Amino acid sequence: MTPGPAAHRSADRGAPAAPAAGDPTRARRHDPQRRERLIDVALGVIAEHGVAGTTHRRIAAAADVPLGSMTYHFDGMDDLLHAAFTVLAERTADVFDATLSAATSRADAAEAVVGLITGTTLTSPETMLASLELYALAARRPAFRSITDAWMARSRAALHTHFDPETALMLDALIEGTTLHRALSLDPMGVGTVRAAILRIVRP
């Protein structure tokens, strides 16, 4: 878009350029939810660049905030990663809770599990990529397994509202494995096969 006359007049007067994103002299913006927004942006950066490519500078640039905001809100990269992956796990568990609490029978719950595996809520590219990064990080660094362990516990608790503990455990493992299989396979398992696998587990 071509600048209008007013813009040209400002330029002619030598108006100073707006401070850059990382400039500490940049005017403060009212942003009471900045920490939460940084976590959201961090998950996107993790999905795009992986944990190895995620830096404070990259997140600050993507969020359009001063670099100092990162060290103000987070005590280092581990703190940020823990916060971001905890939010990822809690949001996913919330989907489990909402989906399974809406089921009114064991049959409805089984069909809800089919929807969790074959739908798009849990398998969006960003969610899947961030989840894979969490799995890899937790596999390498046991300190992050508290997140995956709490995530699995919530998933099983949601399933347990309709199924006995052993069946809930089986279904949780099936959901995890089948979701990954469908996301990574060039020939994903069909919905009918997913449903058949679930019914073999939940049938009395």
**pLDDT digit string, tens, across residues 154-170:** 999 999 999 999 999 99
Domain 87-202, second-level architecture: Orthogonal Bundle (1.10)
Whether 87-202 and 34-73 are alike in CATH topology: the answer is: no
CATH number of 34-73: 1.10.10
Query: How confident is the model at residue 23, as a pLDDT?
Result: 47
CA dist 43 and 49 (Å) reads 10
Tokens of residue 71, six digits:
């060290």
pLDDT band at residue 122 using 50, 70 and 90 as cut-offs: confident
Query: How confident is the model at residue 153, as a pLDDT?
Result: 96
> Mean per-residue pLDDT for 61-90?
96
pLDDT band at residue 15 using 50, 70 and 90 as cut-offs: very low
CA dist 72 and 162 (Å) reads 44
Residues in the chain: 204
Average pLDDT over the chain, rounded to whole? 87
Query: How confident is the model at residue 8, as a pLDDT?
Result: 38
pLDDT in tens, 183-199: 999 999 999 999 999 99
Instruction: Give yes or no for residue 204 having a pLDDT over 60.
Output: yes
CA dist 104 and 83 (Å) reads 34
- For the chain, the structural domain boundaries read 34-73, 87-202
Query: How confident is the model at residue 49, as a pLDDT?
Result: 98
Query: How confident is the model at residue 156, as a pLDDT?
Result: 96
Query: How confident is the model at residue 190, as a pLDDT?
Result: 94
Residue 9, class by beta-carbon neighbours within 10 Å (0-12 exposed, 13-18 middle, 19+ buried)? exposed
Q: How many CB atoms lie within 10 A of CB 79?
A: 11
Contact 93, 83 (CB under 8 A): no
In this structure, which amino acid lies at residue 34?
A: R
